[in-house]
């Protein structure tokens, strides 16, 4: 039986004499490394050096605290939309104008997938994605964040709240004549806009 020897493909790369010596490619690689050494560095020495993240980053979800209390009106939309059922809440009544508040509000950070859907559906901008990304737990119980641990003053969340206002408004404007007040669902925030006050 005849044994066939496969032919080398016609387009096989022909190495020149210098390439066969391997010296020019090595020199070109070294010069590339040398040039990169003196360029601006994009890496950071984490965790010694903190990472600055923009307002579009989705870190752990937090509850917005305003005037010493949560903005949340315990409507339950966030818990309903959360894909991995990470949110647990119990509503209670209050004498405040908002009428309802969450007596219990917990997020299981082991379940949370940082999708941001809770933030998207919240009519009060009461739950937002914070820039916090480095948090650790030593037990499953510790990973369940209670309302006290979730509350963050709105001043600290101002970049994200402003970014949300900026990103949401043009989307709504695509489908009907946009007015800022149309995109403000809470009675309290509408009143603030009417009085010419900032809502974020
Ligand atoms: S970010 Fe997503 S997974 Fe996490 S609590 Fe919100 S809806 Fe649930
Ligand atoms: S959607 Fe907003 S207002 Fe409603 S329960 Fe969740 S955090 Fe509270």
Q: Would you say the CB of residue 128 lies under 6 angstroms from ligand 1? A: no
Q: Is residue 46 part of a domain?
A: no
For residue 173, the domain's CATH number is 3.30.70.3270
pLDDT in tens, the chain (200 residues): 566 666 666 667 777 887 788 888 899 999 999 999 999 888 889 989 988 889 999 999 999 999 889 999 999 999 999 999 999 999 999 988 888 999 999 999 999 999 999 999 998 889 999 999 988 999 999 999 999 999 999 999 999 999 988 887 565 555 555 555 555 556 566 667 677 765 55
Q: Would you say the CB of residue 24 lies under 6 angstroms from ligand 1? A: no
Q: Is residue 184 part of a domain?
A: yes
Number of Cβ within 10 Å of residue 74's Cβ equals 24
Integer angstrom CA distances of residue 94 from 101, 122, 127: 7, 19, 19
Q: Is residue 101 part of a domain?
A: yes
Q: What share of the chain is helix, strand, coil (3-state, %, to 5)?
A: 35, 15, 50
Can you tell me which atom of ligand 2 is nearest the CA of 125? 2
Q: Is residue 85 part of a domain?
A: yes
Q: Is residue 121 part of a domain?
A: yes
Q: Is residue 183 part of a domain?
A: yes
* Number of domains comprising the chain: 1
Q: Would you say the CB of residue 78 lies under 6 angstroms from ligand 2? A: yes
Q: Is residue 24 part of a domain?
A: no
Q: Is residue 14 part of a domain?
A: no
- Quote the domain boundaries for residue 149: 61-194
């Amino acid at each position: 039986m005849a044994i066939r020897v496969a032919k080398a493909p016609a387009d096989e790369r022909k190495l020149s004499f210098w390439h066969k010596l391997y010296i020019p490619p090595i020199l070109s690689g070294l010069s590339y490394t040398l040039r990169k050494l003196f360029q601006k560095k994009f890496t950071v020495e984490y965790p010694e050096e903190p990472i600055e993240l923009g307002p579009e980053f989705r870190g752990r979800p937090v509850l917005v605290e305003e005037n010493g209390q949560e903005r949340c009106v315990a409507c339950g939309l966030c818990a309903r939309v959360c894909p991995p059922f990470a949110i647990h809440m119990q509503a209670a009544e209050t004498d405040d104008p908002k009428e309802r508040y969450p007596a219990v509000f917990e997020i299981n950070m082991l379940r949370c997938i940082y999708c941001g859907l809770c933030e998207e559906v919240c009519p009060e901008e009461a739950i937002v994605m914070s820039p916090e990304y480095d948090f650790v737990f030593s037990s499953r119980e510790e990973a369940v964040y209670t309302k006290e641990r979730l509350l963050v003053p709105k001043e600290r969340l101002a970049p994200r709240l402003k970014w949300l206002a900026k990103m949401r408004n043009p989307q709504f404007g695509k489908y009907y004549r946009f007015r800022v007040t149309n995109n403000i669902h809470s009675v309290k925030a509408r009143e603030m806009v009417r009085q010419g006050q900032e809502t974020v």
